[in-house]
Amino acid sequence: MNVLPILENGLFALGQVLRFPVMALLWVCVASSLFMAGHCLLDFVARQRERRAFDIKRWLKDGRALDTDPARLGALPSPLRALVRDVDGARKAGSLQHGGLEHLVLEREERARHSLVPSRMLVKVGPSLGLLGTLIPMGTSLASLATGNLEAMAGQMVVAFTTTIIGLATGTLAYVVAAARQTWVAELVREQRFLAERIAVELGPDALGNEALGNTTLGEELTRRAV
C-alpha cells in the first residue's frame, strides 16, 4: 500500500478546508486596519488640538506640578493630566512610598506601549494571510490546468493575486499606524518621566521613602526597572 498519495491528498484537502477561514480572516484584517487608521487619525487631530504650543519644560517652569490650580492643570495633555491626578490620589492614599511612584509611572508606560500591540501584530498577520490566500487557490488552479479547464484556472489565479494585494495593503496600512503611534508613545514616555522627576523633587525623599536611592534619579531608576 502506497501511503504517500494518501498523505498528499490529505494535505491538499486540508489546504482547501483552510480556504474559508483564511478569506474570512483577511476580511477581519481589512476591517481592523481601516478601524486602526480611522482611530489613529482621530488621535492625531486630538493631539494637534491638545499639544498646540505646549512645552513641558515651559509648563514646569511656570509653577508646581502638584497642588496647582485647575486651569493650569487643564493645559496639560490628557495623559499627563491623568498622571498628575493619579499621583495626587496615591499621595493622599499614602501609597507612594517605597517605589510607589516608580510603579505608577511604569504602569502607565506599559499601558501606553500596549496600544502598539494590535497594529504591530497586523503588520505580520496581514501579509501572512495574504500569502496563505495566494497559495491555497494556486493548488486548485494547477489542478484545473491539468484537466484543461483554463477558465477555472484563470478564476483561481485572480483570487490568488487579489489576496496577495489585500494582505500587503493591510500590512502596509498597519505599519504606518504603528510607526505613528510609536512616535507618540516615545514622546509620552519621555514627558511622563520628566514630569515624574519634578513630582519626586516636590514630594521629597521622606514622602517617597526612597532614601536608599541615594544620588540615583527617578528617571535612571525607571530605566533600570523597565529593562
pLDDT digits (tens, 9 = 90+) for 93-115: 888 777 788 888 899 999 999 99
For residue 8, the model assigns a pLDDT of: 75
pLDDT digits (tens, 9 = 90+) for 145-187: 888 888 888 888 888 899 999 999 999 999 999 999 999 999 9
pLDDT digits (tens, 9 = 90+) for 114-144: 999 999 999 999 999 999 989 888 888 887 8
Cell of 89: 490620589
What are the domain boundaries of the chain?
19-226
- Are the C-beta atoms of residues 43 and 116 closer than 8 Å to each other? no
Percentage, residues of the chain above pLDDT 90: 37
